[in-house]
Amino acid sequence: MKFRSDIHNISLLSKVAGTLSIVGKIGWLQLTPQTLQLRVLSATESSQSQLWATISLPAIFTDPKISSAHNNIINLEVPLDTLHRSLKSAGASYTSASIKLTKKEGIPRLSIVITTETAASMNHARIVQDIPVRVLSPQAVAHLTKPVVPKPGCAVILPALNQLKGITERYVRMVGVNGRIVVEGNNSGVLRMKLDAEAVKVESEWRGLMNPVVGEDGGMEWEDDDDNNDEEGNEESTQEKEKLSKVMVDSRDWAKVVRVSAAGKRVIAWLCNNHSLVVYVFLDEEGDNLATINYYVSSMVV
């Protein structure tokens, strides 16, 4: 099993590791000849969530070498905070960086080597960061699959994320860490946030948002919907577009969704009515699929 590569976009890899560390401390890193994927699973008493990032290897690595006995796929358990701090140590002054899978004192490690240059002296400093990891067998990760959800009733591009973040913070303060937030949306560009609390009734609404085609992005798997198969290709009526899809999520989960979304350049929310919320985050400036994050959160009973 071998992995080594130069890193030409360490800031993107650092952003992904830091964003996923918002949700969990330990992540599953999968390397294939085409992509790097990082995934975090989380569960509370009221909901389950899954967060996964997918990055095309050319977007971050130069001439990567990946080989293993399992179709050249490598699976590792990694501490996300440590990975993020190691990548972040490059700062803005680094001139080169590389990464490789190695073993020291019998422990598998991701070794990151960063070369920096000081402007004053033009001297080069070499920083070596060794991150302990655990190699996972294909059997150990067989259960780590993307969730299959009902086809969303609504897909909407989220409003300005700095505004959404400020409103969410106020909501969480009002309802507390164990509160519930209802998110509603439709295919007429409407998105609503509501507090679900006995003592507080607050609602925020946005109109004129964009509605992308449901499921056109993100590589998600949708459950077959036999009731709607005959209607494919037919334009939605005004009444259908106005119909609201809703999910209820733990206030802590929604706050994490908003924090993760803030890493993106464009964010699509898919609302699977009374089932789940799936957020699709484009990380790159062009808004293509070279670097993306999906965040799945199951809905509480509305």
pLDDT tens-digit series, residues 132-187:
999 999 899 988 888 888 889 999 999 998 899 999 999 988 887 678 899 999 99
Give the mean pLDDT of 202-227: 74
| Average pLDDT of every residue of the chain | 87
Q: Is 221 or 50 the better-scoring residue by pLDDT?
A: 50
Partner residues linked to 280 by β-bridges: 268, 294
Cβ contact 65:2 at 8 Å: yes
H or E segment and range at residue 102: strand 94-104
Tell me the pLDDT band of 230, cut-offs 50, 70 and 90: very low
Q: Is 75's pLDDT higher than 90?
A: yes
Give Cα separations from 69 to 66, 116, 135 (angstroms).
Answer: 11, 35, 13
User: In the prediction, which pLDDT does 216 show?
Assistant: 53
User: In the prediction, which pLDDT does 142 show?
Assistant: 87
Q: Give the β-pairing of 276-282 and 291-298.
A: antiparallel
Cβ contact 24:16 at 8 Å: no
Helices (runs of H) and strands (runs of E) counted in the chain: 6, 20
Distance CA 227, CA 224 (A): 9
Task: Quote the strand ranges of 137-290, DSSP E.
Answer: 148-149, 154-157, 180-185, 191-195, 203-206, 221-222, 245-250, 266-272, 276-282
Give Cα separations from 148 to 118, 124, 242, 278, 289 (angstroms).
Answer: 50, 49, 26, 11, 20
Distance CA 268, CA 279 (A): 6
Give the mean pLDDT of 10-18: 94
Question: What tokens does 124 get?
Answer: 């080069």
User: In the prediction, which pLDDT does 201 show?
Assistant: 84
**pTM of this structure:** 0.87
What number of other Cβ atoms are within 10 A of residue 275's Cβ? 17
User: In the prediction, which pLDDT does 94 show?
Assistant: 83
Cβ contact 75:69 at 8 Å: no
Cβ contact 30:141 at 8 Å: yes
Question: What tokens does 281 get?
Answer: 């985050």
Partner residues linked to 249 by β-bridges: 181
Cβ contact 221:148 at 8 Å: yes
Partner residues linked to 3 by β-bridges: 66
Q: Is 226's pLDDT higher than 90?
A: no
Angle at which helix 10-20 crosses helix 80-88, to 10 degrees, equals 150
User: In the prediction, which pLDDT does 71 show?
Assistant: 93
User: In the prediction, which pLDDT does 234 show?
Assistant: 53
Domains parsed from the chain with CATH numbers: 2-141 (3.70.10.10), 148-223+241-298 (3.70.10.10)
Chain Cα centroid distance, residue 176:
25
Partner residues linked to 23 by β-bridges: none
H or E segment and range at residue 50: strand 48-56
User: In the prediction, which pLDDT does 222 show?
Assistant: 65
H or E segment and range at residue 19: helix 10-20
